[in-house]
Structure formats: C-alpha cells, structure tokens
Amino acid sequence: MTEEQVLDLARESIFTLLKLGVPIMAVGLVVGLTVAIFQALTQIQEMTLTFVPKIIVVFVALIVLAPYMVDTLQEYMASIADKIISLK
C-alpha cells in the first residue's frame, strides 16, 4: 500500500468513527444541558438527577440508532474488503 492509500484508509476510519459516535454524544450533551438548566432553575442539586436521565436516553438512542450504526459499519467493512481484494 502506498502512503496515500494508508492516509485515505485512516481518514475513512476516523470519519466512520465520528459518524457512529457523534449522534450518541450529541444526545447525551442535549440531555445533560437540559438537566443542568432544570437544576439551575429549580435549585435541586440531586446527583442521581444528573445521571439517570442521561443513561436512559443514551440507551434509548443506541436502540433507535442501531440500524443506522449497523449500516454504516457494513458500508465501511465492504469498502475495506474491496481495498483488500484490490491489493492482490
């Protein structure tokens, strides 16, 4: 493999990682900010109020986004397999 091919593979890997991770992280961020604003407005400083909604929503987001994540990983694996085949 040439340096250009290795860099393309690395860039594609990082982009795939971002496509998989950013939606879940964004959901966690939005829920965290919402809970923080709620706590600031009501002055409730309960520690479980911070973590429980975030954990539940992130698990729900994982279940909802699972088909998208599987499709993305299948496309990535297909492109990797094509690159491996083209090396011979």
Confidence bin at 88 (pLDDT 50/70/90) = low
pLDDT digits (tens, 9 = 90+) for 2-38: 898 899 999 999 999 999 999 999 999 999 999 999 9
In the chain, the percentage of residues whose pLDDT exceeds 70 is 99
In the chain, what are the domain boundaries?
A: 3-87
- Rounded to an integer, what distance in angstroms lies between the CA atom of residue 54 and that of residue 63? 14
Per-residue pLDDT tens over the stretch 51-75:
899 999 999 999 999 999 999 999 9
Of residues 5, 23, 8, 6, the one with CA closest to residue 67: 23
The reported pLDDT for the residue numbered 29 is 95
